[in-house]
Structure 1
Amino acid sequence: MTTFWSTYICVLTIGSLIGLTWLLIGTRKGETKGSVDQTMGHAFDGIEEYDNPLPQWWFLLFAGTLVFSVGYLILYPGLGNWKGILPGYEDGWTQTKEWEKEMNKADAKFGPIFAKFAAMPVEEVAKDPQALKMGGRLFASNCSVCHGSDAKGAFGFPNLADNNWRWGGNADTIKATIMGGRMAAMPAWGEVLGEDGVKNVAAYVRHELAGLPLPADSSADLVAGKQAFSTTCVACHGANGQGTEIMGAPNLTQPAGFIYGTSLTQLQQTIRHGRQGHMPAQSELLGNDKVQLLAAYVYSLSHNAASQPQTETPSEQ
């Protein structure tokens, strides 16, 4: 801040405090003997205003706010370039320094705990109750907005509580996914396949690969759909539709992995226009130690107990 603006703020602030003090003292009026019934000399609709002093508590409260203001401006930065003299803060208090102080306290308290779990394999961390509680809190704060509080996903976001993994579900892969994020791209095939081709491939994927029934009025050609799939889809999803983890291509034989829906309309939309999936990297935000706990928690969701296969809901049919 320039000297001019610093001086301007100081003069305005201190002048206001002096003016308020003068106003309080200058208008302070003690009660005069025999003046209890003295009025201001005017009335409205039979109501008169008495000329009595302000209550003692009101005067003291006003005076207290002025004293507090002076003390605050001495301790904290509030007068231009004045940094304050609050103990415990070099060069004055700021919100950043307050945050850093709290973070240092937290690091001193929890740092050894994080370090202990960081030195263990993720699979072992996933068996520790304390680690799972900490990982669960990290998940609730950083992951639940997309994957849900129960980690069972939502439209466009995968279920982390089952055994259907796009990029792999072993401990190291889960940690790598959280640390570095993932970028998945499903290209649009509408112009290549044409509208009939899109419908045929969607019907083939739903019925022949995922094993889900087709609507009674479906006129899709499954043979043509299989041929088109073999030409355009096998490079990512494989000849049998079982997916490719290295590319993040989902297993099309498992309806639970269809995060954009399993209905014919939804499948046609995916094939026609493609999909863009982005899992943001958490390494800079959380760091290795916290990601270790988070990975252990996610790993435990599908490995510490047998997961039940998901089935299609009526709304997807």
Structure 2
Amino acid sequence: LYFSIGYLVLYPGLGTFKGMLDWTSTGQYEREVAIADAKYGPLFKKFQEMPIIAVADDPDARRMGERLFVNYCATCHGSDARGARGFPNLRDNDWLYGGSPEIIEQTILSGRSGVMPAWKDALGGDAGVADAAEYVFSLSGRNVDQEAAARGAEKYQTLCVACHGADGTGMQALGAPNLTDNIWLHGGSSKQVMETIAMGRTGVMPPHRDFLGEDKVHLLAAYIYSLSTGQEELEE
């Protein structure tokens, strides 16, 4: 009882009364961030002035990048960075927008927004969607219904080639996936691919420039680059 009374006197908890200590969770967070920045800021700055490839070669930098990743990225991409349905695997070297150090950094800083239009009506309904899916599967070497794939190929050249390319290898400038490598962001079953073609997909990677700052993003980019090149696994 005494503890509860003392707590309510010192901290907010009674209507609009802010407590004698004038404590807020936001204020505490800001103080903790300021302490961390004062402690690690010079080290962040040191790595920020190095090329990403050089940072990725530094074990200490990778460990710092890993901690940042676990805190800020694992919710979507997983603690092991292997992603989940709708969230890219960052270890497989399959990149929607490109996997160079500079592009990875730009993606984290500015974010990405991708849209796959819904094509069910343009394809003439479910049958046309199924034909298009058969052709898409043929691009990655799957066994398909050849007649259906041939019909789908005609639709592909009309509706899909502008983004995914004549050979199906995609277009990183648009974030259009490679359809030939059997890697599927939203699932690769017949049902899932037909759903993607019929209903479309949207994907958003939020920008982190303002939230994390360029120094931390530089470390994150180096860590993610090390995952896709196997450097982090070699260290283990």
* TM-score, normalised relative to structure 2: 0.87
1:113 matches 2:43:
yes
1:181-260 correspondence to structure 2 within 5 Å:
181-194=111-124, 195-207=126-138, 209-214=139-144, 221-256=148-183, 258-260=184-186
Could you say if the C-alpha distance between residues 82 and 226 of structure 1 is closer, same or farther in structure 2, counting changes exceeding 3 Å?
Answer: closer
**Aligned counterpart for 1:94 among listed residues 23, 28, 31:** 23
2:194 paired residue number? 268
8 Å contact kept, 1:199–1:220? no
* Shift in Å, 1:69: 4.4
1:179 matches 2:115:
no
Alignment root-mean-square deviation, CA: 2.7
* TM-score, normalised relative to structure 1: 0.66
CA distance in structure 2 between the aligned counterparts of 1:273 and 1:306, rounded to whole angstroms = 38
Could you say if the C-alpha distance between residues 223 and 100 of structure 1 is closer, same or farther in structure 2, counting changes exceeding 3 Å?
Answer: closer
2:99 paired residue number? 169
8 Å contact kept, 1:188–1:275? yes
Q: Report which of the two structures shows the higher radius of gyration computed on alpha carbons.
A: 1
CA distance in structure 2 between the aligned counterparts of 1:78 and 1:193, rounded to whole angstroms = 59
Could you say if the C-alpha distance between residues 305 and 101 of structure 1 is closer, same or farther in structure 2, counting changes exceeding 3 Å?
Answer: closer
2:216 paired residue number? 290
Show CA shifts across 1:266-309 (max 9, x none): 111111111111111111211111111111111000124599xx
Q: What SS does the corresponding residue of 1:276 show, helix, strand or coil? A: strand
CA distance in structure 1 between the aligned counterparts of 2:164 and 2:49, rounded to whole angstroms = 37
User: Which structure 2 residue ranges, 5 or more long, are not aligned?
Assistant: none
1:302 matches 2:228:
yes
CA distance in structure 1 between the aligned counterparts of 2:170 and 2:64, rounded to whole angstroms = 33
User: Which structure 1 residue ranges, 5 or more long, are not aligned?
Assistant: 1-61, 85-91, 308-317
1:151 matches 2:81:
yes
Higher relative contact order (CA 8 A, sep 6+): 2
Kindly report structure 1 stretches of 4+ aligned residues shifted beyond 2 Å.
Answer: 75-84, 92-104, 304-307
2:203 paired residue number? 277
Could you say if the C-alpha distance between residues 112 and 239 of structure 1 is closer, same or farther in structure 2, counting changes exceeding 3 Å?
Answer: same
8 Å contact kept, 2:111–2:207? yes
1:52 paired residue number? none
